[in-house]
């Protein structure tokens, strides 16, 4: 068995690792790289291998940085199976369709904008922008999904099988074990996917990982500890009350899968307890609306608290003050509302989707608050706002950032260093080697040091294109 680290090596986005065995080539994830637009477009479009030579994909979860480039793979000729959990298959189907739509619409917007600019600047140079992929490509990809339940060994080649356990990151997320049978003894490769945190709303806590010989492990927050003692619901209510008192709006960029549903459930609790003012709440994302329907279809993934909420005959994702917007006209109409409200909109890193338009229209008003609820990769608009740039680029124009920017850390779906080490501890004694991915350089280096000091396991931080042979 041989691994080639293709993506999320030395960075957080674009998860993709190529595994070769039995003269076959499989991918662990096929995620979209997110960052500087020109670099992201190039990385996502130019795959580091012929798509027709990939025999299959094992997908850890539905987030776009793990699943988002699957339609590019399909567009370039891939026709193999995509193995994942049933909940992930349902979620990814919705997300990839939405991503294809966004790719189409963003290309149209940029091309229209360039045409208008050329009318007043005749020497303006612009190369027509083509969508990375389309909704049709996403539909072809969705047809390739094969849902496999947790802890169900499944053969994917003559000598290799895989099974998964709940990673506790989002609905349907998994850590994946590849088991290769050989005459000189088996090789077991575990891919952590993204590891969640105990106590997150809705979903179960991460399950104990299976024993393995080698581990590909995420390191997103490998160099930090989440703040302890912070009550997410108290912090959320304080931000809303303060912004509403100032006459402002709360703009919440949120991942359509996981984070939006968590926020809706928390807002529902705040409304029931009368802890926030009586103001409208909008989920302005067709994807988040569709994903919420998927969440309703998979209560088998819920934790005990959410199941109790259901048993009490409460609808976790719907209440009187909440409205899900679907069409563009409803989204645009939010700009005409002059009184305080809350809007939750995708994408989570502010790189695409309706939230970019909300930010363009609202970040110049100091009464407003941008509430960041998840990780922001380098060079994304979300990261620039967190770093308090005086001006940020939106659709090619610089916009003055005067709104408050607040980070809500307690909802992070990624384990911190202590939680990563706790997840690793039961299997560390039998590991031969660990490869740290899905982390910026300082985070991976910090986790490498902690692992080697605590467990004495040889740990590497691969770069893109590095190859490891597993004996």
SS3 category, 103: helix
Tell me the CATH number at 277.
3.40.50.10890
Q: How large a percentage of the chain has pLDDT more than 70?
A: 98
Domain boundary among the residues 389, 411, 433 is at 411
Domain boundary among the residues 377, 392, 411 is at 411
Whether residues 258 and 380 fall in one domain: yes
Angle at 358 between CA 403 and CA 439, to 5 degrees: 80
Whether residues 120 and 140 fall in one domain: yes
User: At what angle are helices 417-424 and 441-455 packed, to 10 degrees?
Assistant: 40
Lowest mean pLDDT among 72-81, 113-122, 239-248, 420-429: 113-122
Contact 179, 188 (CB under 8 A): yes
Whether residues 280 and 404 fall in one domain: yes
Whether residues 291 and 430 fall in one domain: no
Residue 265 and residue 60: Cα distance in Å, rounded? Answer: 25
pLDDT tens-digit profile of 101-125? 888 988 888 888 788 777 777 677 7
pLDDT for position 313 = 57
pTM for the full predicted model: 0.84
Q: For residue 262, what are the domain limits?
A: 232-411
Whether residues 210 and 302 fall in one domain: no
pLDDT tens-digit profile of 40-73? 888 999 999 999 999 999 999 999 999 999 999 9
Residue 265 and residue 263: Cα distance in Å, rounded? Answer: 5
Contact 418, 424 (CB under 8 A): no
Answer yes or no: is pLDDT of 214 > 80.
yes
The sign of the dihedral angle between the CA atoms of 60, 62, 66, 69 is: positive
Whether residues 169 and 305 fall in one domain: no
SS3 category, 212: coil
Cα dist from 136 to 8, 54, 250, 293, whole Å: 27, 21, 35, 22
**Would you place residue 282 in the very low, low, confident or very high pLDDT band (cuts 50, 70, 90)?**
very high
- H or E stretch at 20: strand 16-21
Tell me the CATH number at 143.
3.60.15.10
Cα dist from 223 to 69, 286, 447, whole Å: 28, 35, 6
Q: What single string gives the DSSP state of each residue in 243-303?
A: HHHTT--EEEE--TTTHHHHHHHHHHHHHHTT-S-S--EEEE-HHHHHHHHHHHH-GGGB-
Lowest mean pLDDT among 183-197, 221-235, 376-390, 453-467: 221-235
**Would you place residue 229 in the very low, low, confident or very high pLDDT band (cuts 50, 70, 90)?**
low
Whether residues 255 and 324 fall in one domain: yes
pLDDT for position 448 = 98
Contact 26, 161 (CB under 8 A): no
Residue 147 and residue 330: Cα distance in Å, rounded? Answer: 35
Q: What single string gives the DSSP state of each residue in 71-92?
A: HHHHHTT--S-EEE-HHHHHHH
Whether residues 358 and 263 fall in one domain: yes
- H or E stretch at 384: helix 381-386
Residue 464 and residue 454: Cα distance in Å, rounded? Answer: 27
Whether residues 63 and 86 fall in one domain: yes
Residue 173 and residue 154: Cα distance in Å, rounded? Answer: 17
Contacts of 133 (CB under 8 A, 6+ apart): 71, 72, 74, 75, 99, 100, 103
Residue 183 and residue 197: Cα distance in Å, rounded? Answer: 39
Domain count, the chain: 2
Whether residues 324 and 417 fall in one domain: no
Contacts of 86 (CB under 8 A, 6+ apart): 147, 148, 149, 172, 298
User: What distance lies between CA 398 and its chain's CA centroid?
Assistant: 26
Residue 197 and residue 206: Cα distance in Å, rounded? Answer: 7
The token pair that represents 333 in the structure block: 């109409």
Report the candidate in 469, 45, 101 with the shortest Cα–Cα distance to residue 285: 101
Contacts of 269 (CB under 8 A, 6+ apart): 233
Whether residues 7 and 111 fall in one domain: yes
Domain boundary among the residues 391, 411, 431 is at 411
More confident call, 293 vs 5: 5
Angle at 224 between CA 254 and CA 435, to 5 degrees: 90
pLDDT tens-digit profile of 288-333? 888 888 988 998 899 988 888 776 756 778 777 889 987 889 999 9
Report the candidate in 389, 387, 407 with the shortest Cα–Cα distance to residue 398: 389
Whether residues 124 and 163 fall in one domain: yes
pLDDT for position 326 = 79
Residue 184 and residue 205: Cα distance in Å, rounded? Answer: 36
Between the CA atoms of 44, 45, 46 and 49, what dihedral angle is there, to the nearest 10 degrees? 80
Report the candidate in 7, 449, 430, 23 with the shortest Cα–Cα distance to residue 190: 430
């Amino acid at each position: 068995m041989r691994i080639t680290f293709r993506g999320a090596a030395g960075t957080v986005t674009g998860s993709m690792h190529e595994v070769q065995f039995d003269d076959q080539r499989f991918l662990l994830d096929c995620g979209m790289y997110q960052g500087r637009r020109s670099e992201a477009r190039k990385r996502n479009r130019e795959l580091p291998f012929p798509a027709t030579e990939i025999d299959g994909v094992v997908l850890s979860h539905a987030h776009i940085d793990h699943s988002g480039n699957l339609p590019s793979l399909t567009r370039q000729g891939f026709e193999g199976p995509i193995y994942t959990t049933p909940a992930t298959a349902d979620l990814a189907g919705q997300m990839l369709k939405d991503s294809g739509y966004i790719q189409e619409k963003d290309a149209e917007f940029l091309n229209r904008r360039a045409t208008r600019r050329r009318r007043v600047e005749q020497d303006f140079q612009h190369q027509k922008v083509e969508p990375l992929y389309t909704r049709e490509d996403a539909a072809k990809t969705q047809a390739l999904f094969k849902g496999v339940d947790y802890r169900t060994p499944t053969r994917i080649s003559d000598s290799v099988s895989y099974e998964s356990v709940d990673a506790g990151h989002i609905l349907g997320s998994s850590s994946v074990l590849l088991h290769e049978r050989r005459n000189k003894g088996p090789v077991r490769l575990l891919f952590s996917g993204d590891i969640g945190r105990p106590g997150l709303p809705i979903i179960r806590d991460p399950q104990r990982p299976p024993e393995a010989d080698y581990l590909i492990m995420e390191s997103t927050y490998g160099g930090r500890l989440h703040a302890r003692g912070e009550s997410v619901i108290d912090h959320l209510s304080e931000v809303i009350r303060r912004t509403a008192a100032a006459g402002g709006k709360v703009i919440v960029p949120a991942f359509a899968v996981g984070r939006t549903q968590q926020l809706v459930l928390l807002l529902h609790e705040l409304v029931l307890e009368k802890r926030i003012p009586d103001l409208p709440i909008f989920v302005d994302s067709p994807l988040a609306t569709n994903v919420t329907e998927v969440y309703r279809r998979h209560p088998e993934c819920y934790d005990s608290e959410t199941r109790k909420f259901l048993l009490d005959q409460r609808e976790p994702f719907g209440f009187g003050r909440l409205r899900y917007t679907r069409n563009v006209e409803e989204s645009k109409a939010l700009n005409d509302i002059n009184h305080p409200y809350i809007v939750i909109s995708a994408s989570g890193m502010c790189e695409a989707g309706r939230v970019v338009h909300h930010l363009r229209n609202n970040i110049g008003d100091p009464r407003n608050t941008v509430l960041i609820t998840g990780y922001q990769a380098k060079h994304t608009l979300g990261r620039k706002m967190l770093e308090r740039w005086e001006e940020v680029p939106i659709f090619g124009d610089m916009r003055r950032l005067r709104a408050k920017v607040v980070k809500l850390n307690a909802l992070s779906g990624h384990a911190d260093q202590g939680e990563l080490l706790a997840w690793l501890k039961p299997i560390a004694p039998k590991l031969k080697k660990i490869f740290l991915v899905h982390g910026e350089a300082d985070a991976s280096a910090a986790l490498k040091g902690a692992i080697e000091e605590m467990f004495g396991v040889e740990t590497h931080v691969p770069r893109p294109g590095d190859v490891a042979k597993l004996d």
